[in-house]
Each structure stands twice: as C-alpha cells, then as structure tokens.
Copies of this chain bind each other. A is one copy, B any other.
C-alpha cells in the first residue's frame, strides 16, 4: 500500500499538480460562478434546438457538452510550447489551434 503513495517530489509536473489538486475545488467554485452568468443563453439556445430538432434532444446534456467545450477552448489562453522568456533553446512545437479540426 505504501508504494502506492510514493510520488517523486522532484518531478516538476507532479509538484505542480499537487498544488493544482489542492486549489481545484476553489477553482471549480469560481468557474461555476462564471458559467452561471451565461447559463441563460445556453438554456435558451438548447430550448431552441429542442423546438427545432425534436423532443429527443436532451437539453441538459447539450448544455454540459457545450460547457466542456468552453473549457477545452479556454485552454488556448495557456498555449503549449509558447516558450517566451525562459530557456536557451526554442522548442516551439506550436500545436495547431484546437479549433481547426473541430468545426
């Protein structure tokens, strides 16, 4: 059981993720508060979709899918491999914009 708990405290990602895990509940509250601002738009849109497409549309699920998509797209605020100031080598493996293959 003990080995299960062993983590490397010198692994940078792991260290940062321990902090992330601690902050996540608070983050989630804040992010949820943001989503509440937009909830009425999503509800209205989902209701429209349901009226246009049919009653088998699950508006709940549609809204949740959309919320997850919002979060996915928000990742572009923190682009990967955007090596700006630190480090001598420029490993810019700029991944393509998330969106291109989406729509």
Contacts and interface: CB of A to CB of B under 8 A. Distances in A.
5 contacts: A19-B45, A28-B98, A61-B83, A65-B80, A68-B75
Counting chain B CB atoms within 10 Å of each CB, which of A26, A68, A92 scores highest? A68
Contacts of A86: 58-61
Given A25-B97, A32-B77, A60 B20 contact: no
B45 A15 contact: yes
A49 B98 contact: no
B82 A64 contact: yes
Interface in A17-74: 17-21, 23-28, 30-32, 34-35, 37-39, 41-43, 45-49, 52-53, 56-74
A3 interface: no
Contact of A74 (B10, B21, B31, B91): B31
Nearest to A18: B103
Counting chain B CB atoms within 10 Å of each CB, which of A20, A26, A46, A92 scores highest? A20
A72 B77 CA distance: 13
